[in-house]
Amino acid sequence: MNKNTKIDISVLVALPVIGAVITLLFPVNLMAATLLLFAPPALYLSFRSTQLVARSTVYATIITLISIFTDYLAEQDKSWVSTSMFETRLAGVVPFEALVWIFLLTYLIVAYYQYFYDQNEHKVVAKRMPYAFGAAAAVVVWITVLALTGIGSLTIEYFYIKSGLTFMLPVLILFTIAYLQYFKVYLKMAPYFIAIGLANVLISLHKGHWSYPGENFVGWVTLFGYHFPIEELIFWIVLYAPFIITQFEFFNNDNLLTSRSSRGKRLRT
């Protein structure tokens, strides 16, 4: 690790810590807390390497649009319930703060990955990206129809564990088996994103920004006197960052499927 990298890591650690301290000391709402924790490190990486901004923004926007549907199902099943400073919610359920949070978190993950592990040139929109655009467009159509027609609500019991086991975990496992060199990257990124994820959950519980009032969980984690579902620990805090990297590489890297043997050389592991 050279001097510049050490400085980068130090700044990326210090910025969320400062944001967390401010959030704990002052009466800030969920929107402000989200911005304080995630925006500074995302902006720092963007200023340090402007070429990562376009790809990170496009992909984070797609994930944010898709998350409207997943957040809707989660809040319907009371996997989590968020507070909001706005009276209006998307589909009557999804708070706007959730969209800001998922955008910033996803942007930070993708920007962090590009900055430290993949500085090669890429197209902003790769050949497989239309499939991701299609998924995002489907969500936009769904929420538009829901808003215009008022069609009844949709609920999936145990949505948290079902979605994690049927979508996130299999995709992550299959991708890692096919491209094993990414596993080392996951391990190197893990300490930062697990730490920031735990800080986010604990601070939010402490401040009452969100809660887990549902009963459809497989278990609970207790940390520093705060309780949250084990699904939160596994699928958001531990696995979300590597899952996002797998999807980002699959949809937004044209060389992925044709240069498997050379991937290890391209990644800065």
pLDDT per residue over 112-124, tens digit each?
A: 999 999 866 777 7
**Element holding 236 (H helix, E strand):** none
Q: What distance in Å separates the CA atoms of residue 176 and residue 17, rounded to the nearest whole number?
A: 31
pLDDT tens sequence across 193-252 = 999 999 999 999 999 999 999 899 999 999 999 999 999 999 999 999 999 999 898 888
DSSP class of residue 124 equals S
Q: Where are the beta strands (DSSP E) in the chain?
A: 81-82, 210-211, 220-223, 226-229
Contact indicator for 165, 239 with CB cutoff of 8 Å: no
| Radius of gyration for the alpha carbons in the chain, expressed in angstroms and rounded | 18
Neighbours of 120 (CB within 10 A): 10
Query: Quick one: residue 112, left, alpha or beta (phi over 0 = left, psi -120 to 50 = alpha)?
Result: alpha
Q: What distance in Å separates the CA atoms of residue 222 and residue 227, rounded to the nearest whole number?
A: 5
pTM: 0.90
pLDDT tens sequence across 61-102 = 999 998 888 888 888 889 999 999 998 888 788 899 999 999
